[in-house]
Chain A
Amino acid sequence: MTGIPHDLRDTEVDRDTVERRLAETWRTRRGFWGAIATVDHKIIGRRYIVTAFVFLLLGGVLGLLMRWQLATPEGRALGPDLYNQVFTMHGANMMFLFAVPVMEAMAVYLVPLMVGTRNIAFPRLNAFSYWIYLAGGLLLWVAFALDMGPDIGWFGYVPLSGPQYAPGKRADIWAQMITFTEIAALAVAVEIVVTVFKQRAPGMTLDRIPLFVWAMLVTSFIVMLAMPAIMVGSTSLILDRLVGTHFFNPAEGGDVLLWQHLFWFFGHPEVYIIFLPATGMISSMLPAFVRRPVFGYLALVLSMVTIGILSFGLWVHHMFTTGLPRLGESFFTASSMAIAVPAGVQIFCWIATLWDGRPVFRTPFLFILAFFFTFVLGGMTGVMVASVPLDTQVHDTYFVVAHFHYVLIGGAVFPLLGAVYYWYPKIVGRMMSERLGRWVAGLIFVGFNLAFFPMHILGLQGMPRRVYTYQADLPWGPLNMFVSLSSLMLAAGFLLFFIDAVRSARSGPPAGDNPWDSPSLEWATTSPPPPYNFARIPVVTGPSPLWENRDELPVASGLRLDRREIVITSVADAVPEARESSPRDSLWPFWAALTTSVLLIGSIFSPWAVVWGSIPVAIALIGWFWPKGTPEDEA
């Protein structure tokens, strides 16, 4: 720190010095411990994204294993026990370790850039969040490798997952993995809300926030309201299993349906936690490829908020066959159907955007088109399963498997893959291959539809979900074989995607700051961005800042260079209010995550782990928050 004058402002020196000094202040130290200690949202976001995609790859392999087993009747590839572990792992992995984290990972990387700040709020919490997420993922996968993988389905219905019918620690591992991922998700949600509310670039009023940021804001609120339900549920389950409480034991006053209510009170919003960021990605990418701002900004924001609110009113449509009162079921039919309206608003606004647009058929745009095709179809089957009587026929069948893969893959993964192609140059600094990208989009789109559309028919033909095999005299054999073969095509698409992503990191053409000529702030800095994101904090004058200010973006100045300073702005109008220093790198989040992991894993085996394990956690937290006289303490 010597050599830097105290209280050096960016107004006092030239741009080169600013950048040099900022780089010195914001850089991550080299070496192993430096990497562990970093709080740079870009490094953590990158880790998050890569980890999530590794889990996608692993989960995909599990999916292929299932299709291998189901390709022929009476298949012998996996036994029933292993198959049950595999499908549970597939579901739990995809939902808890891939879909939610990857959306949050994208947000961790992109939101600070899109709102024009230098780091995410609570960056140490952000580091902690990643380590916890990683530990949860490792817990699940190491357990699976040890033949201790959960075998109770990703929904873990009691009493099958309860103490009596799930001996051993398989179910506990599943339940505790949820705790890990939910802690991680809640941490990120808090960071994003605060980042969006308080760290937006000056001038970025509420109606100028990029739609992806809006989506993440709504998502973060859903996370904060929905995730506690599942944590209560999974903790209750662990308590039932370990210390013999009776939350789900009907004999002693518990209720097995309580679990389903808790689970789906989380589980349905979960779908929107995954889907809303994807709509945000669509809304944010679309302008670059149709060369127009998105139509109906306000309608889109309102529909996202509406979806966020409505998503809490539909959970019972997962429970239509449990024999709940008819009146309640009718209410949930109506509310489940009602969510089609805001979803429709979004679709119509995007179509209206397309209508006057001048489409540029690049890979991300192809994925957007694939999204339209697939997601609208999934939405239609969603309307079908919302109907109580209809659901009694298709519930827990392959029809539902098809439906939610249409919604989740079509509605979330396609936009995500588009987003990867779109933001890859920003993150890596190089373009992904357009030629391979077209292949990827084509293979995935065609493979997906060939693999999953027939499942609708299989479901209507009576094939239940979660069966490890079926008999030869049932009429499902040919379609299953077709599905399994098609899944290879889908897998080939993903394989190509991974190859492209890895290869392009080394040999892709350099991207430049704004390869797509996009209008939002993240393209206003270099690719990849420097540790401090923006040498000078941009000032926003409209919803499409880079299009409005083609020549030069207005900037705010006056921030100190010798410490990590960010601008705090007001919630509604983004008027600068204060300079705040952002925490520096620290190893404590890592230690805190490590000790928390030890506590959580230990508490699978003994409730005393909570007591003794909390001591090292407390030490780590004390270390984390101990005043050290560093610049951020002074602020």
Chain B
Amino acid sequence: MALWAALFLAVGGAGRAEDAPGRAPAAAITPETVRGLRLVSTFRTGNPQAHVASPQVAGDRLLVFTPFPHTLFALKVEAGHLRVDWTFRPDGNRMVEGVACCGLGLPGPAVAGDRLLLNTLDGHTIALDAATGRPLWDVPSAAVPRGETLASAPLVAGDRVIVGTAGDDFGIRGRVAALEAGSGRPLWTRFSTGSDQDVGIGPGFAPFYDRDLGRDAGVTSWPPGGWERGGGSVSGTLLHDPELGLVFHGTGRPAPINPDQRPGGNRWSSGLFARDAATGAARWFYQLASHDLHGVSGTGPLLMTDRDWKGVRRKLLIHVGLSGYVYVLDRVTGEVLSAEPFVPVNASRGVDLATGALLRSDNKTTRIGTMTRDVCPSLTGPVTPGGAALSPETGLLYIATSRLCMDIEPRPATYMQGTPFTGANLRAKRPPNGSLGALVAWDLAAGKPAWTIQEDLPVLGGPLPLPGGVVFYGTYDGYLKAVGARDGRVLWQEKLASGIVAAPTFFTAPDGAQYVSVLAGQGGALGPSAGLEVDARDATAARGLGNVLRGVPPPEDGGGALYLFALP
């Protein structure tokens, strides 16, 4: 039953993050007991790619979703043993491997009552019967030949399913669509660029900052025709607030990376949208970066919480930004309440809370044909979409971070449908001080970390805070770690066969036993940002990761394996 720590806290049904349904009945795993965790079972998926999908809990089943070509395993845990209940293997269009920018994995299904809603990399949204795994309907949501893929889980918002496309690297025109959950019938589609009508901007649109106003800004802030392939993917977290009737989503960076090919503000890329869940009409928009130079994409984690903020109870939206800032917004109005860096940042000097503008550093601007060195954070982003979680107990936000910087050299990019439209040479680098990764426990009110655990390698396996005061996270070198939620003290760790690039999951079996499960499997040497056959001697390999991860020994077996831990 415990949906508690689902990777994105993409809370379905009623409720907010704090009072998610199915809270663990009693906190059996505490800093005191965690040392007793023992491996009870493992399950191999047979897929060699990077497994970024956390195991999901649907009723009494544990769902394991492999990277493309996908297999969805529904497992049952019976007395500590795993049994495959059913499997679902959608037909795949293998051409999608060529247009998947960042690995072949994506988060697994969303649970809507007795249904599972599944996005596949090659652009299908599929509804399954949760009990049998039988497909109910299957609609195409993304066009692979155009470079579109699906990289996030669908969002269930009432009787609607919201799906967003990915593919900034291929010059797509990002869009988000709503389907009828029962039939898969399309309800509305809104684009991230283009005319106000296409974007869903109408009379109800009231951004907090004036700079986000402007008639047809999705066209006029682009060079002629640029918006047609301007990126702005909806590949990050989708979030639904049933009280407000809003769906929140970020928009990806503008395409191409080379800024000189897209003069202007590049609306509505690199921003956050609040949309009416019923109609898709935009309520507010906040552009994280106008004319984005450094990949300040809005596809980082989105979370919501209701808190006292400076003495006033507010409905907050928290965005862990790829620009390296934790943004705290009022999710009713779109006002930015706070934006503080959680990783080393020098690409910008901060966020002007009066205008909402990201203050760029003059010496880190990028332009065609010129290399800008030591820009932090890297375009690959300091956090993955599932890399942050809130704990209602401690009130802290736990962020799995990659502390990468980069050298970036924009180059001319030419648009050819279905081929990359990037236009930049990238070379990731170590930050000026410290390690490549860290687990950050972030104090929202103070706008600074409560504590930080440095890791040698980027931390991609998102955190799992448990009510008992323990936070689990996986590391790139294959450790599952349990640390104290308040002090960051390492309590327990276990070495697994492969690096962990997905968040662990906690669940309670029908018999009351509590388990922590983690799906290990980093894929190739450079993890989810690349395919298997990558040669890190090339500094620009895997969007520049080759430069920092060169020499990191590849896992003996990068393929996926589910590990199940329990207290004895």
Contact = CB atoms under 8 A, between A and B. Distances in A.
B113 to A, nearest CB: 56
A250 B371 CA distance: 8
Contacts of B371: 250-252
B77 to A, nearest CB: 55
Contacts of B212: none
Nearest to B425: A251
Interface string B226-268: 0000000000000000000000000000000000000000000
A251 B370 CA distance: 6
Contacts of B409: 251
A252 B407 CA distance: 10
Contacts of A251: 369-371, 409, 425
Interface string A233-253: 000000000000000001110
Interface in A219-278: 250-252
A252 B370 CA distance: 9
A251 B368 CA distance: 11
- Interface size bucket, B side? under 10
A582 to B, nearest CB: 57
A496 to B, nearest CB: 54
Contacts of B369: 250-251
Interface in B165-181: none
Interface in B107-129: none
Nearest to A253: B371
Contacts of A250: 369-371
A83 B369 CA distance: 31
A308 B370 CA distance: 39
Nearest to A252: B371
A213 to B, nearest CB: 52
Interface in B339-371: 369-371
Interface string B60-90: 0000000000000000000000000000000
Contacts of B425: 251
A252 B427 CA distance: 12
A252 B425 CA distance: 12
Interface in B365-397: 369-371
Interface string B398-437: 0000000000010000000000000001000000000000
A251 B409 CA distance: 8
A250 B370 CA distance: 7
B366 to A, nearest CB: 12
Nearest to B371: A251
B212 to A, nearest CB: 35
Contacts of B370: 250-251
A74 to B, nearest CB: 32
A195 B500 CA distance: 77
A338 B544 CA distance: 53
A250 B373 CA distance: 13
B363 to A, nearest CB: 15
A251 B371 CA distance: 5
B401 to A, nearest CB: 29
A156 B370 CA distance: 23
Contacts of A252: 371
A250 B425 CA distance: 14
A251 B408 CA distance: 10
A411 to B, nearest CB: 41
Interface string B29-53: 0000000000000000000000000
Interface string A89-113: 0000000000000000000000000
A250 B369 CA distance: 9
**B369, B371, B425 — most chain A CB neighbours (10 Å):** B371
A252 B371 CA distance: 7
A250 B411 CA distance: 13
A16 B512 CA distance: 127
Interface in A388-442: none
Interface string A569-592: 000000000000000000000000
B374 to A, nearest CB: 13
Nearest to B409: A251
A114 B128 CA distance: 104
Interface string A512-536: 0000000000000000000000000
Interface string B477-519: 0000000000000000000000000000000000000000000
B290 to A, nearest CB: 27
A309 B144 CA distance: 69
A160 to B, nearest CB: 16
A164 to B, nearest CB: 13
A251 B425 CA distance: 10
B5 to A, nearest CB: 45
A49 B146 CA distance: 69
Nearest to A249: B371
A354 to B, nearest CB: 58
A252 B539 CA distance: 14
Interface string A8-32: 0000000000000000000000000
Nearest to B373: A253
B109 to A, nearest CB: 45
B442 to A, nearest CB: 37
Nearest to A251: B371
A246 to B, nearest CB: 11
B154 to A, nearest CB: 42
B228 to A, nearest CB: 30
A251 B372 CA distance: 9
A251 B427 CA distance: 12
A252 B369 CA distance: 11
A424 to B, nearest CB: 57
Interface in A615-635: none
A205 to B, nearest CB: 60
Nearest to B411: A251
A345 B174 CA distance: 75
A612 B369 CA distance: 39
A313 B425 CA distance: 40
A376 to B, nearest CB: 45
A256 to B, nearest CB: 11
A244 to B, nearest CB: 13
B97 to A, nearest CB: 31
A532 B369 CA distance: 64
B63 to A, nearest CB: 47
B95 to A, nearest CB: 32
A348 B425 CA distance: 61
A251 B373 CA distance: 10
A337 B400 CA distance: 67
A378 to B, nearest CB: 39
B148 to A, nearest CB: 32
A592 B141 CA distance: 75
Interface in A579-610: none
Interface string B507-541: 00000000000000000000000000000000000
A250 B409 CA distance: 11
9 contacts: A250-B369, A250-B370, A250-B371, A251-B369, A251-B370, A251-B371, A251-B409, A251-B425, A252-B371
List 5 tightest A-B contacts by C-beta distance, closest first: A251-B371, A251-B409, A252-B371, A250-B370, A251-B370
Given A250-B369, A251-B369, 7 more contacts: A250-B370, A250-B371, A251-B370, A251-B371, A251-B409, A251-B425, A252-B371
